[in-house]
Structure 1
Amino acid sequence: MKTNRFLIIIFLSFLLVHSTWAQTKITKKQTTIKPEAETKENLETTKRETPDQYQIRLLMENDAFGGFSDRYYTNGARLEFHMSAGESNPTRRVFSYWNDLFLTPNEKTKYLQGFAVGQEFYTPTNITKADVSYGDRPYSSRGYFTNSLTTFNEDTSITTELELGMIGPSVGGKSAQINFHNFIGSPTPQGWDTQIPDSYSVALKTDIRKFYHRFFGTQYNVNLGNIQTDVSFGLIFRFGNVDKTPGPGSSVLQPGSPILHEDGKGYWYFYVNPGGTLQAYNATIQGQMGTDKAYKSQNRSSAFSNWDSFLNNPTPDVGERELQYRILSEDNGRNTLQRYILFNEFLVNGTNNPYNIGLNYLLFNNIFNGAEEIERTTRIFLLSNLAAQWDQIPDNAKALAVYSIFRPEGGKLPPIIRYYSYEILSQFILDPKQRETLLQLLREEIEYRDEKTYIADLKRAVGFVRAGFVSVSNAGFLFGLHYNYQTIDFQAAKGLPQQHQWVGFQLGKVF
């Protein structure tokens, strides 16, 4: 959370300096112009250039708000401050060259300069695993600060923003989500130590909204940067007491324009916004550009590819064993039971393993199941099984069992625990060559994965539907609710959900 405080301090300091600079300039101008020399035209020009509107907006969204499953894009928050931008405003001078390509300025055109800080958190399907899951979305978190310009008239808004931020552990996603889940009584996320590493970000984004009828419009969104590069298009259908004003955006992921409001002219409407996104790059899925600390479970060359070279005697049986080990290793977060049955048939029943389900499940969980957090009822069941044959269990296996059941929450399983698990499991495999090979392969596997971050393949086309309600009162109070449905943005393993849903809200006020 240190990075969040740092960004907020920068945000507030910038506002203070900018406000002081603007007020000094206005005061100086007022003292140098003699009242008797002022014309009506000068007065109107001064009024236009003086900041005459301020507004604040908060957007928040979370899959828990709608009671949906906790996965993929799990939380987003954004706080914005906007004010009128006169002709001498530096942000307007720079960004208006770009914005004016999409909108022809007229006497009704207005300009708002904006500042924002925001955060986004992403998690896999099963947050109870300490390791990454095969073919799932990796953990990642990003935070950012933006400076923007919104150009708008009666039916069109163009918002362009420059974003500076970072992705990685320094953003504070781990502590934020663990604290929030502890507060609401949800399971503690176990895998944040595997998240995408730290990297700084820069991006330029443009959102275009145009209404051809008060109940119908289009939306375009372009992101160019080293965290996300994509383009989106959507249709907006709405119904309510509203003219052709584009109104505010609604999503933290695509915030769009701020509160568009004139004194005494409130409006409200319901809307549906179907559309799609084409992705070129997404660091929250693919990791940093050029990093050597990433791997892909689906398509990398694993240690099991060396099975034949270890045995030096390829046979159909060797190929079958390799396939079984691969299936055991391909944990997608939702196939634990199937893989445990395979583990029991292949590495327990066919050996002289003397342990019952208690210790064997812990070995399976440590080696092949991502060190998944053990639920309270399951923990009691395993303890009962262990107690039944406690005297027959070696001391190193006892220590392993106790640690595995009661290990600390929220972190990786230490490598030494995996090594112990490998040793205890393999010593009961009757075939000495198979035992030697299994140990060597598993050791190579953990050495390969240690200090590396799982990344996923990108899905180029993503579809979405947003729906909600927006109300801006005569006095400039904003209230909005929105629902989001989206197809997944990465290439998922078989059996994982192919969509995600979440709910959000926004509050704001024009001063």
Structure 2
Amino acid sequence: MKVLHFLSFFGLIASLSLEAAPKKENRKPNLIKPSETSQTSIENSFPKPKDQYQIRLIMENDAFGGFSDQYYTNGSRLEFNMKAGESNPTRRVLGYWNDLFITPTQSTKYLQGFSLGQEFYTPTNIEKADVSYGDRPYASRAYFGNSLTTATEDTSITTELELGMIGPSVGGKSAQMNFHNFIGSPTPQGWDTQIPNSYSGALRTDVRKFYHRFFGTQYNLNLGNIQADASFGLIFRFGNVDKTPGPGSSALQPGPPILHEDGTGYWYFYVNPGGTFQFYNATIQGLMGSDKSYKTQNRNTAFSNWDNYLNNPTQEAGEREIQYRALAEDNGKNSLQRYILFNEFLVNGTSNPYNIGLNYLLFNNIFNGAEDIEKSTRLFLLNNLAEQWDQIPDNARALAIYSIFRPEGGKLPPQIRLYSYEVLSQFILDPKQREVLLQLLRNEIEFRDEKTYVADLKRAVGFIKVGFVSVSNAGFLFGVHYNYQTIDFQSGKGLPQQHQWLGFQLGKVF
């Protein structure tokens, strides 16, 4: 009605103007027809829809919920999204792929996105300089992504092309050490063993379809040289929402950006159970074709195949091999049990003359992954060492001082590890066997120093996500999510078989 009133008023003014205007001879005819004038006026009265711009931040960490610091320990992602017109290059490239999952209509929306993301992974016990037996290796990954989201009133398809890298150049070591120092958590010691540098490329697609405003399904496909997997999940939700798929949640599966109509907000709680089938994961298995990685579950130490090394297949040698294996298989949680075994087998009943101070350092350097020593334990060991200082040889003094005051965040130097082997080997074997063992230990140092610890992949992984999402009428996004997941690698005995973390997301549509 307002438009009609406006047009009537405009027509009245125009007619009065024409009547008041002086007549001129030979005046050129008006080339614009009345119908065209009316059509132009109508078009001008309806402004074109504004281009949509938005920003979104996702952050998640197992420390947010006070959970154990292990496995997938931190992830973050920053996105910028905007409307994608027909001539948009991203829409032209990725639109064909998205159209395989949806039938576009005149109301279909297209959003182009740019993103920066990073992910950090750590083993169960971050206080060890070596990765524990059968544990997840250290890994850090960062990427830049370009995405296209195709969305209808009940379906969204988000496809992203990623370019990035994995390895020390990502800066996971310094980032986590600084964060832990800031919050007062233990300093991670084993980042020097992380998956080596390599460039990455990936294509991932997220499909969400809602059959009812309270029920939908989710499919996710990852293809690339860092990760290849497929997942499926159900989404149950409750709240003030229609069939709009809404934004994704986790930085690992970000899904669509903020899907929002101006002046129309929504909120809901959701439960998202599902599973993932893994084909390949470089943050667990190491890089394709790498000659610097070996399986933590199957790695051979200098104490494996004891009979073959010494050519002495006696019952006594077989029992000794079993004891050494039990000592070497550190899973990050059994330090006390193995130290008792070490003390009974390699200290008591032998010619080892040292007290607990030096013997504990020998055990820690050789069998316990060079675990970081707490301050109270350091004082106790120093006091114990002082009582025997004059009787300790120079190489034992060097390894003792370095082991107690070792710089944070670095692996044990090969020379200190060799000193530990030399001191211990003097008291457990006869001279001939001692020389054989010492040579094997030297070989192990060279082998260990040039390799990267990796783990075997677990194909099937289950997960459940619970969270809350709110998008206001003005386009403000707030979300919080909890994730529970079974582990994605084949672990050693005694390690946790699940992991959980908390995350949040903030955003705004402009």
TM-score (norm 1): 0.90
- The corresponding residue for 2:198 is 199
- The corresponding residue for 1:239 is 238
Call closer, same or farther: CA 1:232–1:41 in 2, change over 3 Å: farther
**Identical-residue share of aligned pairs (%):** 82
- The corresponding residue for 1:160 is 159
User: For residue 101 of structure 2, what is the amino acid of its counterpart?
Assistant: F
1: CA distance, partners of 2:40 / 2:316: 96
Deviations 1:384-426 (A, max 9, x none): 2112222222233222211110111101100000111111111
1: CA distance, partners of 2:175 / 2:42: 54
Call closer, same or farther: CA 1:176–1:37 in 2, change over 3 Å: farther
CA contact (8 A) 2:109 2:151 kept: yes
Matched, 1:251 2:250: yes
Bigger mean CA deviation after superposition, 387-396 or 134-143:
387-396
Call closer, same or farther: CA 1:42–1:494 in 2, change over 3 Å: farther
1: CA distance, partners of 2:497 / 2:41: 62
CA contact (8 A) 1:311 1:433 kept: no
1: CA distance, partners of 2:443 / 2:286: 23
CA contact (8 A) 2:135 2:296 kept: no
Map 1:95-494 onto structure 2 (within 5 A).
95-494=94-493
Bigger mean CA deviation after superposition, 497-506 or 305-314:
305-314
Call closer, same or farther: CA 1:384–1:464 in 2, change over 3 Å: same
The aligned length equals 475
2: CA distance, partners of 1:64 / 1:339: 29
Bigger mean CA deviation after superposition, 364-373 or 424-433:
424-433
1: CA distance, partners of 2:40 / 2:490: 65
Deviations 1:72-92 (A, max 9, x none): 000000000000001111111
Deviations 1:323-353 (A, max 9, x none): 2112211111111111111111111113111
User: For residue 64 of structure 1, what is the amino acid of its counterpart?
Assistant: A
Deviations 1:5-63 (A, max 9, x none): xxxxxxxxxxxxxxxxxxxxxxxxxxxxxx98997999899947xx7100000000000
Cα drift, residue 431 of structure 1 = 2.6
Call closer, same or farther: CA 1:161–1:339 in 2, change over 3 Å: same
Cα drift, residue 310 of structure 1 = 3.3
Task: Give SS of 1:318's match.
Answer: helix
Task: Give SS of 1:381's match.
Answer: helix
Call closer, same or farther: CA 1:190–1:214 in 2, change over 3 Å: same
Call closer, same or farther: CA 1:440–1:307 in 2, change over 3 Å: farther
Deviations 1:158-181 (A, max 9, x none): 000100000000000000000000
User: For residue 127 of structure 1, what is the amino acid of its counterpart?
Assistant: I
Call closer, same or farther: CA 1:44–1:210 in 2, change over 3 Å: farther
CA contact (8 A) 1:351 1:430 kept: no
Please provide the CA RMSD for this pair.
2.0
1: CA distance, partners of 2:342 / 2:278: 39
Task: Give SS of 1:389's match.
Answer: helix
Call closer, same or farther: CA 1:144–1:42 in 2, change over 3 Å: farther
Bigger mean CA deviation after superposition, 491-500 or 337-346:
337-346
Listed as ranges, the gaps of 5+ residues in structure 2 are 1-35
TM-score (norm 2): 0.90
Task: Give SS of 1:378's match.
Answer: helix
Task: Give SS of 2:456's match.
Answer: coil
2: CA distance, partners of 1:304 / 1:390: 30
1: CA distance, partners of 2:414 / 2:213: 61
- The corresponding residue for 1:73 is 72
- The corresponding residue for 1:25 is none
Call closer, same or farther: CA 1:409–1:332 in 2, change over 3 Å: same
Deviations 1:185-242 (A, max 9, x none): 0000000000000000000000000100000000000000000000010000000000
CA contact (8 A) 1:247 1:260 kept: yes
2: CA distance, partners of 1:439 / 1:169: 32
Matched, 1:62 2:61: yes
Larger Rg: 2
CA contact (8 A) 1:352 1:430 kept: no
Task: Give SS of 1:370's match.
Answer: coil
2: CA distance, partners of 1:110 / 1:244: 15
User: For residue 508 of structure 1, what is the amino acid of its counterpart?
Assistant: G
Call closer, same or farther: CA 1:39–1:315 in 2, change over 3 Å: farther
Task: Give SS of 1:204's match.
Answer: strand
Listed as ranges, the gaps of 5+ residues in structure 1 are 1-34
